[in-house]
Structure 1
Amino acid sequence: MEAVRAGLGAFIGLWLTGFFVLSPGVDLDYGLYLVAPLGASAVLMFAVPNSPLAQPWSAVVGNTVAALVGVAISLFVPEPILRIALAIALAIVATFTLRAVHPPAGAVAMTVAMSPEAVQHLGFWFALAPIATGTVSLVFIAIAYARVTGRRYPLRQFDQQNRHGTTDRIAVERLGLSEAELSDILQQYRQSFNLGVEDLARLIGAAELLAAAHQSGTTTAGAIMSSNLITVEANTDLGTVADLFRRHRFTSLPVVDDKQRFLGIIFQMHLISRARDDALRLDRGFMPALRRLIDPERSKPVLALDIMSVTVPRAIAATPLGALLPLMGDTDVDAVPILEYGKLIGIVTRTDLIAALARSMVRTEF
């Protein structure tokens, strides 16, 4: 799926750039034509968008500066082989100095050095069109495509706000290392152009989470799950759902059919979100909207199937405890249903998980 996502993104990016911005042919009058290095840039932006080498600064500045270097060398060095080698070498020096290393920039410099007719006709304008124009177009398309497909481009910076709008690191990335220390690690191992600080923090956090999973031993979901469950059916009205939340202080309720087959799950947040949406849509206060939402006497009551989530993670009784950690580590999921051949046999909540980890720590100490 990731390969298809990247390939489709490159297709869309180059097709839109070629159709609306540049041209598949060679227009020497304005320089608005596709060049091969843009294909290499598309590979980075759509296949490895987290790479420091694929970021907008590296792509736009790297390609443009390489084109400027290539044009300058072409104007003063007539011998082809020397011209090509010198253009690429100086492009590397220039982009490295500007912290804009972008591998396709080498191909840009080489393309310019191998195309003296274009250089003579366009001169330094070649760096603006097609190089800068085409690269900027790809960057904007890659940004939009990443958002649509659930990826992040440009790469999130270390001190950027999280999805809650605060500056706290997400749980799996709250390390005892500062940004400067993480940067030093990358510099020490010569990885600063291959990996960003944000990626390193994410990898270390994932490794720590995996190590914690190993320490949890052989405990499985079946050993810690709640099995005597309170459930609702798809046609249960939200008034009944709200009463169950209030009576039992649950944060989630599984939805099943008459044969105990799992259909979905309702979290308290689903009620709050739906009430907020209704309040905005009907231009009324939140509490009146919530009372209307859970009113069983309304002409057409809202049912469990109308707000339940069907895309939550699931597990089986034999699932190791460690595999449940990332599912509830920093997501909106408060509980993971445990299924057996599609039927609900239990549920593991965050409370169950914390209790199991606490018991594991006690056993380790003694």
Structure 2
Amino acid sequence: MLAFLKRLLPALTPVSNVERLRAACGAGLGLFLTGFITQLALGPVDNLVLLVAPMGASSVLLFAVPSSPLAQPWSIIGGNLVAGLVGVTAGMLIPHPYLAAGVAGGVAIGLMLVLRCLHPPSGAVALTAVLGGPAIHALGYQFVLWPVGINSLLLLGCALAYNNLTGRRYPHLAPVAAVPGDPGRAKDRVGFSAADLDAVLKQYGEVMDIDRNALEAILRQAQTRGYLRRTGEITCGDIMTRNVLAVAPETPLRAALDLL
């Protein structure tokens, strides 16, 4: 039984204690600044939502896994705004709260997938718009811009500054596409090619919480380590021909064969 329960634990990649501390401090600081700046902007007000709960989930992605496709700027901004719009609309049009919640969550996920802004905390944004109570319902579509939109922008700004200042590149940008004949694509001639990876991912057919280019880079590094492990300390000099034979382009084939 214990062995089965251990199998239920997710196989996360190894993370250092420094990285754990970095992520935790970043999330805490980001949430504090988001709420604090929001309060400064509005001043002392009563019965007004300044910080919505889904921002806590967004902070996990933005600070703990900033390389995830689900944590990129378009994901949090687009996902939260889309989910907010869907949630408010569902709450207005569907009187039954749980039916409205189900419709809001499902439609929001579908739209996020289509718009390539999938962000899991946005599902909570949609539910908050439906089930958040009188204070949320009174905001109407204003809920989408304030607090959801402003909270998202402030938290994103904190993530941009904190991640880059602490050595984590954010956001993750797609590499420039290689042109045909680019010597940089010579790596495709050894091991797997980019087309091979794309074909496997298409066959896999599921959303993966890792950037496609980051996955390719990791696999190529693992491939290189495998080559080094198998070949040991062999150098290029050990396998290169020392007595190099050269011929001119106009040399007859028979003459070239005679040199061998």
Provide, for residues 49-95 of structure 1, a one-character-per-residue CA deviation record: whole Å limited to 9, x for no partner: 11111111111110111011000010011212212111111111111
Confirm or deny: 8 A CA contact 1:88 1:110 kept in the other structure.
yes
Structure 2 CA distance, aligned partners of 1:123 and 1:26?
22
Structure 1 CA distance, aligned partners of 2:144 and 2:173?
28
Whether 1:149 aligns to 2:166 is: yes
Higher relative contact order (CA 8 A, sep 6+): 2
Residue 220 of structure 2: aligned partner: 205
What are the equivalent positions in structure 2 for 1:229-308 lying under 5 Å apart? none
Shift of 1:197: 2.2
Q: Which has the higher helix share?
A: 2
Provide, for residues 128-158 of structure 1, a one-character-per-residue CA deviation record: whole Å limited to 9, x for no partner: 1111111111111111111111111111312
Q: Aligned match of 1:55 in 56, 60, 72?
A: 72
Residue 106 of structure 2: aligned partner: 89
Residue 38 of structure 2: aligned partner: 21
Residue 201 of structure 2: aligned partner: 186
Confirm or deny: 8 A CA contact 1:42 1:138 kept in the other structure.
yes
Shift of 1:119: 4.1
In structure 2, the CA distance between the partners of 1:191 and 1:22, relative to structure 1 (3 Å rule), is farther
In structure 2, the CA distance between the partners of 1:142 and 1:361, relative to structure 1 (3 Å rule), is farther
Shift of 1:116: 4.0
Secondary structure at the aligned position of 1:122 is classed as coil
The size of the alignment, in residue pairs, is 217
Provide, for residues 172-200 of structure 1, a one-character-per-residue CA deviation record: whole Å limited to 9, x for no partner: x9545776654443332235542212212
Residue 357 of structure 1: aligned partner: 235
Structure 1 CA distance, aligned partners of 2:79 and 2:153?
12
Shift of 1:102: 0.5
Runs of 4+ with >2 A deviation: 25-29, 173-188, 190-193, 356-362
Structure 1 CA distance, aligned partners of 2:142 and 2:218?
42
Unmatched runs of 5 consecutive residues or more in structure 2: 1-17, 241-260
Structure 2 CA distance, aligned partners of 1:73 and 1:149?
41
Larger-Rg structure: 1
Secondary structure at the aligned position of 2:138 is classed as helix
What are the equivalent positions in structure 2 for 1:339-354 lying under 5 Å apart? none
Secondary structure at the aligned position of 1:159 is classed as coil
**When the two structures are superposed, what TM-score results if normalisation uses the length of structure 1?**
0.53
Residue 299 of structure 1: aligned partner: none
Structure 1 CA distance, aligned partners of 2:44 and 2:52?
9
Structure 1 CA distance, aligned partners of 2:45 and 2:139?
11
Q: Write the letter of the residue equivalent to 1:106.
A: G
Whether 1:215 aligns to 2:230 is: yes
Structure 1 CA distance, aligned partners of 2:238 and 2:38?
60
Q: Which has the higher strand share?
A: 1
- RMSD value over aligned CA atoms? 3.1
Residue 43 of structure 1: aligned partner: 60
In structure 2, the CA distance between the partners of 1:32 and 1:80, relative to structure 1 (3 Å rule), is closer
Structure 2 CA distance, aligned partners of 1:361 and 1:211?
19
In structure 2, the CA distance between the partners of 1:197 and 1:360, relative to structure 1 (3 Å rule), is farther
Shift of 1:359: 5.8
Residue 342 of structure 1: aligned partner: none
**When the two structures are superposed, what TM-score results if normalisation uses the length of structure 2?**
0.73
Structure 1 CA distance, aligned partners of 2:71 and 2:205?
17
Residue 125 of structure 2: aligned partner: 108
In structure 2, the CA distance between the partners of 1:27 and 1:189, relative to structure 1 (3 Å rule), is farther
Confirm or deny: 8 A CA contact 1:64 1:132 kept in the other structure.
yes
